[in-house]
Structure 1
Amino acid sequence: MKKTKLALALTSAVFASSAMATNGTNMIGIGAQSMAMGGTGVAAYFGAENLLANPALIGKSQGTELIFGGTIFAPDVSSEHNLGEPASPGEPVGKDSSDANLFVVPSAAFNSRINENMVYGIGMFGTSGMGVDYQDNGQMFRAQSALQILRFAPALAFHNETAGIGFSPIIQYGALDIHYDGSETQYGTFGLEDAGHGMAQGLGFGYSIGGYYDAAPGLTLAASYTSGIEMEYKGQLSSASQPFAEFGMIPEAFDDKLEQPAEMKVGASFDMGSLTFTADARKIMWSEAKGYKDFGWQDQDVFSIGAKYSTKSYWLAAGYNTGDNPIKEQDGTTTEGATINFFNNTFFPATTESHITVGGGMAISKKATIEGAFVYAPEVKTRVGVSGIGDDYPIAGAASGDYSETKHSQTAATMMIRYNFD
């Protein structure tokens, strides 16, 4: 059943991405070294932080290691549109900057050697998130939303002198909160007053599997796969879409399933003494994920590179990450296309494409290192057509517009402590 109707578009407003330095809604990397090197980590050994990127790589550890830290994200999102009658000629009808501009995401992991061929580990990582806050602006539907994804991942890796494999079952915690109010817009009589259900929480289960091969001295080739994880947030999407079902815009209200997409990853790492070079390619399968595929998301190809200079007491690194915006513009001259464009672009701007990364670490004792990374995603401006948004709308006098425009940039800072017991 095709769900790309006006109701679907408004429902997608609850998933306003911008909480992270992201490819789509997923973090570009996990851990200070990965973040500093463009989000790579499929083939390059970064210690316990490799757990999710490729669980096989913890097989390269020499003893017991603990990492803990977090990332502070500061997105900068602003949006405007000309749907309706402007207060002054030529001015946008609605314009605002999201107040959801600061987020903290935790990370911690541990791994230890069982014997000369086996290593186990466990990690807890914030991996995805979204959120906008336009609660002070009635012309922006007073939209508020927050999605948080946290993954718990035990792992077991087997290896010999030249190759290894690893497996990690994943327990995923998610929380979603939706609220919007269209009573101050021309759509206020359409049952959009104060729509919300309160926060919903859920658990999902998946897995990650990977392998690596030391193809030549200093050269490691690797691949991994992470399954999709289906989540259900009771009362969220169904409550948001119910008014549209009542008016016959969709056959029935949507269910509350939202799936974190599967990922396929390959990578290479090359060590030249004190220098390390990394490169990863990743496919994020949004088009197959429940919820996201209904919102018109397409698969995303992500490419990342990194370089690191290391000594016994410190390291310095830089990298680059790029991936196309997975949300594709629809035909804005139709009601369906225009409304999908408007709400995806305004309330779900997962539009950042390029990320520039730097970082470093310094030994503070024989066993402990403090590490950090900084990520900057340059501003991306997207303008989409919305001229058809009033066509066939079941409200007399519903206004059409020409455009919806969003500007989006991101910064992120990661700090981490790494402690080696052996």
Structure 2
Amino acid sequence: MRLRILVTSTALLCCGTAAATNGYFSHGYGMKAKGRGGTSMALTGDGFGGANNPATMVMSGNRLDLGLDLFDPERSASRSGFGPGLDGSIHSGRTLFAIPEFGYNRMVRNNLAFGVSVFGNGGMNTDYPGGQFNCGQGPANMLCGSGSLGVDLTQLIVAPTASYAITANQSIGIAPQFAVQRFSAKGLQAFAYTPGLSSDPANVTNRGPETSHGYGVRVGYFARLTPSFSVGGAYASKISMSRFSRYGGLFAEGGKFDIPENYSLGLAWTPVERLSVALDYERINYSGVQSVSNRSLVPYQLGANHGPGFGWHDVKVWKLGVEYASSDRWTWRAGLNHGSNPIQSADVTFNIVAPGVVTDHVTLGFTHTMRSGAELTMAYMHAFSKTVRGASILPVFMGGAPGGSERISMYQNSVGISYGWKF
């Protein structure tokens, strides 16, 4: 058991994640949820309660789930209005990411289950080529640094779960969240070398990958109110992470990059036999993390308390999913996922390296149950292209006012497969 968790955790950190879909969180956890728009609060049937609703695990039975999602984000940025040198467009390389997932659940009594969910919470990744711009001192990247430009953030959570059935139709659950994240940045020399911009110029960029750790908790509730109607909800506390000391001059509070608190509420309805419709609401409170939510233009240095951040707003997400069992062997899924855009036009410049702007997703999926009882599940997601435009704040660093126009865009595709054993 411990070996499986270690192997999966190592794979997640090695393969990483890219800019995810609801801000930088995934649109769903577990292939079944991913196929139905991310809905999971009021439905049972896999080992990912530690990522979704821990209370559902006692209703899911003995099972083991292993999955792999291939994620393809397409990111681009452009600038105009300044003339030769500063104007141009770029497209991020490294567009395919393999994201493993692992879920396990064991019924120790009819009303008590223990398990674990291991999953990539989300992340950000960009890798833009350098040398296409000139900020007055020779070839540079889009943010006036040298070499390629980008960031790489990976977040992994290991969530042991305990789920208890209060009655035959009601349950509660808890999942401690043990998190590890890895970050690196490159090509941000202009932010380090501009006098007075950073509180720690030596720890802004090109310091290599660094990891940080933290812990929090997720709690959940699930109830079957009638044979055809169920409800559920979950709350996850903010995970206070240790500092990225190598990037203490970039992130606010000396390199703090916490994982924000979030909560979800959902319901599921079975209007006719074999058909289920689910609706979830999720809120991700990025405003509780200074390095993510602080505005780009504030009267403080990079890395300081209250220092500049990405300016992200809280994200509100609506998820709608449909699941239909056409036979005992085949179950089909579809879903829609709409989240608010966390990035505003005034913060476009900083978000060139983190363009988490997509808002609308469509998903499809299915499960084939084999004669042995094992399940093969697949899920597909497309996030439609979204663009945010705003005035560049680069002139501010030279004593001017925002000017010109910058644009960041992204769309995404993913396809995943998982195998589930029942025992």
Measured against the shorter chain, the TM-score band is 0.7 to 0.9
- Go from structure 1 to structure 2 and tell me whether the alpha carbon gap of 1:24 and 1:320 turns closer, same or farther (over 3 Å shift): same
Amino acid aligned to 2:359: E
Structural mapping, 1:7-406, within 5 Å: 19-62=18-61, 64-82=62-80, 84-86=82-84, 93-137=87-131, 138-140=140-142, 141=145, 142-159=148-165, 160-182=167-189, 190=194, 195-240=205-250, 254-271=253-270, 272-294=272-294, 295=309, 296-310=311-325, 311-330=327-346, 340-344=347-351, 346-386=352-392, 389-391=394-396, 393=398, 401-406=403-408
CA displacement, residues 316-364 of structure 1 (integer Å, 9 cap, x when unaligned): 100000011112233xxxxxxxxx43122x2221100001000011123
Whether the 8 Å contact between 2:93 and 2:128 is mirrored in structure 1 is: yes
Letter in 1 for 2:48: E
Q: How big is each residue's C-alpha offset from its partner over 1:60-94, in whole Å with a ceiling of 9 and x where there is no partner?
A: 123x100001111100111111374315xxxx713
Aligned position for 2:137: none
Relative to structure 1, the CA distance from residue 60 to residue 200 in structure 2 (aligned partners, 3 Å threshold; closer, same or farther) is same
Q: Residue 202 of structure 1: CA displacement?
A: 1.5
User: Conserved in 1, the CA contact under 8 Å of 2:207 and 2:247?
Assistant: no
Sort the Cα spacing of 1:116 and 1:391 in 2 relative to 1 into closer, same or farther, 3 A. Answer: closer
CA distance in 2, matches of 1:67, 1:46: 10
Q: Which amino acid in 1 is paired with 2:38? A: G
RMSD across aligned positions (CA): 2.4
How far did residue 375 of structure 1 move? 0.2
Q: Structure 1 runs of 4+ off > 6 angstroms? A: 191-194
Q: What is the letter of the counterpart of residue 112 of structure 2?
A: M
Q: Is the 8 A contact 2:70 2:96 kept in 1?
A: yes
**Aligned partners of 1:283, 1:399: CA distance in 2, in Å?**
34
Deviations, residues 200-220 of structure 1 (Å, cap 9, x unaligned): 112110110000111112211
Cα deviation, residue 139, structure 1: 3.0
Structure 2 length as normaliser, TM-score?
0.82
8 A Cα contact 2:163 2:172, kept in partner: yes
Contact 1:178/1:236 (CA < 8 Å) preserved in 2?
Answer: no
Distance 1:133 1:392 in 2: 23
SS in 1 for 2:174: strand
Partners of 2:412 and 2:222 lie apart in 1 by 32
Q: Is the 8 A contact 1:34 1:46 kept in 2?
A: no
Q: Tell me: higher relative CO, structure 1 or 2? Use CA pairs within 8 A at least 6 residues apart.
A: 1
Deviation at 1:115, TM superposition (A): 0.8
Deviations 1:142-168 (A, max 9, x none): 312111111101101111212110001
Counterparts of 1:78 and 1:18, CA distance in 2: 18
TM-score (norm 1): 0.82
How far is 1:240 from its partner? 3.7
Letter in 2 for 1:299: D
Letter in 1 for 2:281: A
The one-letter code of the counterpart of 2:387 is K
**Distance between the aligned counterparts of 2:337 and 2:97, measured in 1?**
21
Contact 1:180 1:195 in 2 (8 A): yes
Q: Is the 8 A contact 2:115 2:161 kept in 1?
A: yes
Structure 1 residue runs of 5 or longer lacking an equivalent are 1-16, 242-252, 331-339
Distance in 2 (alpha carbons) for counterparts of 1:149 and 1:155: 19
Whole-Å Cα distance in 1 between the matches of residues 103 and 227 of structure 2?
28
| Matched letter for residue 219 of structure 2 | I
SS in 1 for 2:291: coil
* SS of corresponding position for 2:254: coil
Residue 417 of structure 2 is matched in structure 1 by: 415
Q: Name the CA distance, whole Å, in 2 between partners of 1:415 and 1:127.
A: 18
Residue ranges of structure 2 left out of the alignment (5+ in a row): 1-15, 132-139, 196-200, 295-308
Write the distance in 2 (CA, Å) between the matches of 1:342 and 1:129. Answer: 19
**Equivalent pair of 1:93/1:139 in contact (CA under 8 Å):** no
